[in-house]
Structure 1
Amino acid sequence: MKEGILMADNAELRFGIIGTGWISQKFVRALRAVDNVSVVAVYSRTLSKGTSFVKTISEHIIVYTDLDQMLLDKQIDAIYIASPNSAHYTQIISCLTHEKHVLVEKPAVVTSNQFLKIEKLLQKKPNLYFMEAMKNIFLPSFEQTAALIPQLGPLDGANLIYLTSDLKKSDLQNLQRLPSVLSRKAARGVLYDLGVYLISSALNWFGTPIKVEYYPKLIDNPDGADYYGHGTLFYKTFNVDILIGNMTSSQAPSEIYGSQGTLVLNHPTHLENITLLKKDNTTTDIKVPAISNTMMPEIEHFTKIIFSENYEEMQRLLILTKTSTNILQTMRENAGFDFP
């Protein structure tokens, strides 16, 4: 281990957390099932929310209401960032400047320029590790899907669908302030909340597209982001269509199809059920490992990168994050909506 980052080969990776929402609670539950990691502190803008978070997770940890003070805490090796998207960039810079490893919720940042500045800072700090918490690409079933794709023969295309009815338009009536999930000020919207998963899947399974398009429906509000959209990733010999929304549910599966067969996925990110349909009419249901908390594999991967000092793997994932950031920004800007 590099001195000053992890003190010994058998040391724990000690996390501080930024954010007290449900995703941070799930993160702590996942940490408990992973070896050699712990949480020692949380940052919240208010003491009451921080204290409530500590009670909810039943952990004896320090609550900070000053982020700089938490980043000065020598007990903390790494920071998990689960704040609104619009806050990620400045918090990542602060964490790296204070010599902390960073695991940041997707999307890591919202502009290519932000990513380039982070990349330059990381080049000056080769003892630090950074990873975007894109949980779907670390699931064992994701690797299973990737291994099955060659059996499909030359690809003809794919449909990736992520539709959920978590929100209702009626809930938004007469609101003076939109919930952050639909706010452009918070750099949110369905493309950055759900579409980012589908884009990361496509990049891993099919590579970088030649061009992209996106057609959103926006909330009728000056601060309104997209709540529904369909887009296309164009490749040389096939296209990948994505359909996303957080006010519309669907039971339709996602599919990847080729000249020799089709892969049917019950969900393109959860991947709990995978079926291989071959051209000869044989059907194979793929056994998928059950995971109690889908955040566990990403924590294990991040920890392994740090303990094994696998700088090459960090660089591989950085390229994926960089490409995803570029695609999201291109889709959003070409669709005619921007973030303040």
Structure 2
Amino acid sequence: MKLAIIGSGKIVQDFLTITKDLPQIELEAIVGTTRSKETLEELKKIYGIKNYFTDYEQCLREDTIDAVYIAVPNHLHFSFTKKALLAGKHVICEKPFTTDYQQFLELKQLAESKQKILLEAITNQYLENYSEIKKQLSSLGAIKLIECNYSQYSSRYDAFKNGEIAPVFDAQKGGGALMDLNIYNIHFVVGLLGRPLGVHYFPHMENQVDTSGILVLQYKEYQAVCIAAKNSDAPVRSVVQGETRSIVVDSPTNVLTSFGIYQKNQLLETISVNSHPHRMYQEFVTFDQIIQHKDFVAMQKRLTHSESVMWIIDQAKTAAQF
């Protein structure tokens, strides 16, 4: 895969650290703003990226690039992805796919009409530990409850309280606890249980954005609760409760470093089968395979999952009226 990276922020710099372990991915270009030119030059040099651009559309005109990885602020995902698809590029877009369900549907239709691969970068769906959790579900007995808590006091929260609004706390830019942290919990649950029958969201609102919230997903025979907070801390963990056993994950739902199998509150086994220590490695291995083989069947499966997640986001915002 001949890849252009769109963005130069924290997630991009984290991804670049593993590119040495992904020789099948050729780093053709990196794109940023004019004020990030110095950072682009530095990243180009350190990681052997062939070129850099401060003009996104100029980058898209390069014939050597067949795919782009979009890692810009949430509210730009839709427009950047649409431009790339119209330019004939395959697209890997960071979570959340878009800030609006209808935007997602438009991108899905466009990718299908252009016969281009479109995928959401969401680490937990590709981790081997997550696949193992799915395999272990049948050993738990009838599933009763799932609870996910991803609460992390934001380094930008104090500034937010003083009136400095960063994108992660700007509702107009896809910020807030639901879109930033709870999105991982939603993906975790949907990958196990599918689309729920009902969605309810109870946010704590500050300056018109949810700084924390409790999301309840209703299924026919069980319930799932997804908790996320950027205004407070708590132990980060997820629990899948079955009638006879339970699974406990003592790490964020985007990392899944390991998980335990419990029976009557006694640990029976700890499982960790991830093949690489970095959470983003396996997803990019899979992305490369799907793009290289133009595997539209795999793409449709992934898009169906992402569509359910975007539908939940839309339902949650409607339920909470924000």
Match of 1:182 in 2: 169
8 Å Cα contact 2:152/2:231 also seen in 1? yes
TM-score by length of 1: 0.89
Amino acid in the other structure paired with 1:133: A
Looking at structure 2, the residues matched to 210 and 270 of structure 1 have their Cα atoms a distance apart, in angstroms, of 27
Q: Does residue 277 of structure 2 align to residue 256 of structure 1? A: no
Match of 2:305 in 1: 320
Matches for 1:195-234 after TM superposition, within 5 Å? 195-220=182-207, 224-234=208-218
8 Å Cα contact 1:168/1:247 also seen in 2? no
Deviations 1:113-172 (CA, angstroms, capped at 9, x unpaired): 11121122122122x111000111111111111111110111111111101123364333
8 Å Cα contact 2:122/2:254 also seen in 1? no
Amino acid in the other structure paired with 2:246: T
Match of 2:133 in 1: 145
Amino acid in the other structure paired with 1:296: Y
Matches for 1:53-72 after TM superposition, within 5 Å? 53-56=40-43, 58=46, 59-72=48-61
Give the superposition deviation at 1:289. Answer: 3.0
- SS in structure 1 of the partner of residue 173 of structure 2: coil
Q: Does residue 254 of structure 2 align to residue 269 of structure 1? A: yes
* Structure 1: unaligned runs, 5 residues or longer: 1-12
Question: Which of 271, 275, 283 is residue 298 of structure 1 equivalent to?
Answer: 283
Match of 1:135 in 2: 123
Question: Which of 216, 224, 228 is residue 244 of structure 1 equivalent to?
Answer: 228
Give the superposition deviation at 1:174. Answer: 3.5
Question: Which of 69, 76, 100 is residue 87 of structure 1 equivalent to?
Answer: 76
Amino acid in the other structure paired with 2:56: L
Q: Which runs of 4+ in 1 moved over 6 A?
A: none
Percent identity, aligned pairs only, is 24
**1:170/1:36 CA distance change after superposition, 3 Å:** closer
Give the superposition deviation at 1:244. Answer: 0.3
Looking at structure 2, the residues matched to 18 and 289 of structure 1 have their Cα atoms a distance apart, in angstroms, of 27
Looking at structure 2, the residues matched to 173 and 245 of structure 1 have their Cα atoms a distance apart, in angstroms, of 15
Higher helix residue share = 2
Amino acid in the other structure paired with 1:96: L
Question: Which of 24, 32, 38 is residue 44 of structure 1 equivalent to?
Answer: 32
Amino acid in the other structure paired with 2:215: G
- Could you say what the CA RMSD is over the residues aligned between the two structures, in angstroms? 1.8
Match of 2:158 in 1: 170
8 Å Cα contact 1:15/1:38 also seen in 2? yes
Amino acid in the other structure paired with 1:184: A
Amino acid in the other structure paired with 2:101: S
Looking at structure 1, the residues matched to 28 and 181 of structure 2 have their Cα atoms a distance apart, in angstroms, of 30
Amino acid in the other structure paired with 1:309: K
Q: How many residues align?
A: 319
- SS in structure 2 of the partner of residue 159 of structure 1: strand
